[in-house]
Structure 1
Amino acid sequence: MTHRTTAATALVASMTIAAPLFAGTAHVTETTYNTTDVDGVSIFYREAGPKDAPTVLLLHGFPSSSHMFRDLIPELAKSYHVVAPDYPGYGQSAAPAADAYDYDFATLATTMEHFTEQLGLDEYTLYMQDFGGPVGLRMIQNHPERLEGLIIQNATFHVEGWNPDVVKQFAPFWGDRNAETEAPLRQFLAPQTTEWQYRQGSTLADRLSPDAWIHDQAGLDRPGNTEVQLEYLWNYQDNVANYESWQNKLGELQPDTLIVWGENDPFFTIQGVEAVQKLLPNAETHLYDAGHFALETHADEISTEILEFLAR
């Protein structure tokens, strides 16, 4: 079932949410900021909520970091243990030189798996946005027993979920990587593109904080980071090659799934949502009049739907 959610309906729903599952626990809703060494790479992560509560693992997208969850974490932490890491090359995590770390998605997923193991996260509900999709889906494929639930926010794993105009930019680069085909991808790292990713398709301008793209751009502009990002973008073709395998795995598992999606996304189309609904017919879907980073404008509405989903 698909719902188009408004602020008014979210407010009404929030009044009827059941009491927190861990009402007797002293809640630690304040976010803490931490680092841990994972296979020689310093990984930064945000953490909040009671550690004896079920865990929600938040996997961010490009070109952001755990910063994108800054409004969501305090809401979920009222009842749940929330963990949001930064990938190598993003946010406050280390960014080793491109010749010192394999900036491909298989390695990234392994780093995130080892991160969860270090923190003792044996089970979790997984929130995937953008890059979080290919990272999270590899984690699910490798350790399906750890998955308690799935939340998908503007992360596609179907070819039909891509905007054809974006495919036209990536295809030459993937087919023959050289200075000419790399040039359009370098524009993905430019300040005006980073801001555009947040503004495009977003309808609530007064909720859109410039802090988001300024924070992201500061990370992109770190010395050597262009090479890091180009490696990730080059390797993204391996994700596309794995789509069928991931679809088969999810089709087999049929996890409890919530889809919260900005329907004006300039990268990933509504056809991607429809493909997931076909694959996971029991998935609950809520569409928002928002862009790729729907949390920037609809964090209240999305957190309400997530809390109801987790309570069920």
Structure 2
Amino acid sequence: MTKFKMAAGLFTLAMLITSTSLALAESHKQVHYRTVKVDGLDIFYREAGPKDAPTVLLLHGFPTSSHMFRDLIPALADKYHVVAPDYPGFGYSSMPAVDEFEYTFDNLARVIEKFTERVGLEKYSIYLMDYGAPIGFRLAAKHPDRVDTLIVQNGNAYDEGIDNDFWKPVKAYWKDRTAKQGDALRSLLTLEATKWQYTHGVRNVETISPDAWGHVQPLLDREGNQEIQLALFYSYGSNPPLYPQWQQYFREHQPPTLIVWGKNDAIFPAAGAHPYKRDLKELEFHLLDTGHFALEEDGAQIASLIREFLGKHAAGN
């Protein structure tokens, strides 16, 4: 009888510990929506997970915001400290006019660098997508000691990745920054273009939530935002000259890297994914049968791949 009571007591204790652990894990998944001041700007960010866990910095693309990570954050936050900021001019961060703020990738990278310092991120893995790539690679090349691993999802660092029809009018704007060339790019800021970015190349369009463009388009349609986006289209021309520097960073520092790339992307096609194999030795490479915003259709698979990858490579695991 005594042995039975002891066994029952141990079982109850085990159940209590399990229940407590599950409750703690669920509490870590709670996303917090915060804002900090950086150089007088309000920088909005989403944050979840234990702060003493390995950190994952999520850097969004165009034309979205940290909203693109709305499902990925809780999928990682039981084990990782996850932080996703909105750049100036995007999401819920400040949107100063183009004559009040320099909308260049150099400047966005400076703001995000200061943001990481402001919120106390000393070492982190970086998820780089679209615009997040030139921002994140600037951070990584400047502070390689701060970067734990790289997670690259349709984020370019090679000329092959922008050698396609989508970039022809943008490259024309780099060469000739006139109102006429700029106006030719305004079609990329319409609802039709935004929906296309989310739906082109996906297997099943009915799995893509309209909440995505429902969030993005009203922000793009704010007065003055088109001028911000045109400034960044022009500034994107500052990125290709830095590709050799970023590739040198890859070769010298060899950050463990996970590629999770929507192979049907017409903006950054798979041609931009393969060249990473030239420079990175510790590379896990996955081409997914989806489009530009791969998280929308394959978020669960990407989260699983990230968890497996970070489990092997993230500091603290």
Residues 128-147 of structure 1: pairs in structure 2 closer than 5 A:
128-147=128-147
Corresponding letter in the other structure for 1:169: P
Distance in structure 1 (CA, Å) of the matches to 2:300 and 2:204? 13
Distance 1:224 1:258 in 2: 37
Indicate whether 1:103 and 2:103 are aligned.
Answer: yes
Q: Which residue identity does 2:24 align to in structure 1?
A: A
Are the aligned partners of 2:266 and 2:292 in contact in 1 as well (CA < 8 Å)?
yes
Q: Which blocks of at least 5 consecutive residues in structure 1 are unaligned?
A: 1-22
Q: Which residue of 1 aligns with 2:12?
A: none
Distance in 2, Cα, partners of 1:206 & 1:192: 17
Supply the AA of the counterpart residue of 2:114: H
Q: How many residues are paired up?
A: 290
Query: Any residues of structure 2 matched to 1:209-220 within 5 Å, and which?
Result: 209-220=209-220
Query: Aligned residue for 1:7?
Result: none
The 8 Å contact of residues 54 and 80 in structure 1, kept in 2 or not, is answered as yes
Deviation at 1:103, TM superposition (A): 0.5
Rg comparison, structure with higher value: 2
Given that 1:163 and 1:266 are in contact with CA atoms closer than 8 Å, whether structure 2 keeps it comes out as no
Look up the match of 1:64. Answer: 64
Aligned Cα RMSD in Å?
A: 1.3
User: Which residue pairs with 2:162 in the alignment?
Assistant: 162
Amino acid of the structure 2 residue aligned with 1:239: N
Is the 8 Å Cα contact of residues 45 and 84 (structure 2) preserved in structure 1?
A: yes
- Partner deviation per Cα, 1:160-217 (whole Å, 9 max, x = no partner): 1125202211121111111221122111111110111111101122320001012111
User: After TM superposition, which residue ranges in structure 1, 4 or more long, deviate above 4 angstroms?
Assistant: none
Superposition map of 1:74-223 within 5 A? 74-223=74-223
Residues 210 and 25 (structure 1), Cα distance of their counterparts in 2 relative to 1, 3 Å cut: closer
Contact residue 140 and residue 147 of structure 1 kept, 8 A: yes
Alignment deviations for residues 101-160 of structure 1 (CA, whole Å, 9 cap, x no partner): 110001100100100001110000000000000000000011111000000000011111
Contact 1:153 1:259 in 2 (8 A): yes
For the residue of structure 1 that corresponds to 2:275, the secondary structure is: helix
Identity of aligned residues (%): 49
The one of 15, 23, 26 equivalent to 2:24 is 26
Which runs of structure 2 are paired with 1:256-295 in the superposition (5 Å)?
256-295=256-295
Which structure is richer in relative contact order (CA contacts within 8 A, separation 6 or more)? 1
Letter in 1 for 2:127: Y
Question: Which residue is 2:4 aligned to?
Answer: none
C-alpha deviation, 1:279, in angstroms: 1.5
8 Å Cα contact 2:167/2:267 also seen in 1? no
Deviation at 1:224, TM superposition (A): 0.8
SS at match of 1:274: coil
Measure, in 2, the Cα distance between the counterparts of 1:172 and 1:300. Answer: 38
Cα deviation, 1:254-293, whole Å, max 9, x if unaligned, reads 1010000100001112121110111113210111110000
Secondary structure of 1:26's match? helix
Q: TM-score, normalised by structure 1?
A: 0.91
Give the distance between the partners of 2:23 and 2:146, measured in 1 at CA. 24
> How far apart in 1 are the matches of 2:75 and 2:141?
29
What is residue 297 of structure 1 aligned with on the other side?
297
**Residues of 2 paired with 1:214 and 1:168: CA distance?**
28
Cα offsets for 1:1-38 (capped at 9, x unmatched)? xxxxxxxxxxxxxxxxxxxxxx7993311111010100
Deviation at 1:66, TM superposition (A): 0.3
Letter matched to residue 236 of structure 2: Y
Offset from partner CA, 1:42-95 (integer Å, 9 cap, x none): 000000011111100000000000000001000100100000000000000010
Question: What is the match of residue 315 of structure 2?
Answer: none
1:26·1:50 contact (CA, 8 Å) conserved in 2? no
- Name the SS for the 1:35 alignment partner: strand
Provide the C-alpha distance between the structure 2 equivalents of 1:101 and 1:265, rounded to a whole number of angstroms.
31
User: By percentage of residues, which structure has more helix?
Assistant: 2
* Cα gap change, 1:310 to 1:25, in 2 (>3 Å): farther
Question: Any residues of structure 2 matched to 1:234-245 within 5 Å, and which?
Answer: 234-245=234-245
Compare 183-192 and 35-44 and name the one that shifted more: 183-192
Secondary structure at the residue paired with 1:37? strand
CA distance in 1, matches of 2:47, 2:167: 36
Partner of 2:306: 306
Q: Which amino acid aligns with 2:57?
A: L
Greater CA drift, 76-85 or 165-174: 165-174
Q: 1:25·1:50 contact (CA, 8 Å) conserved in 2? A: no
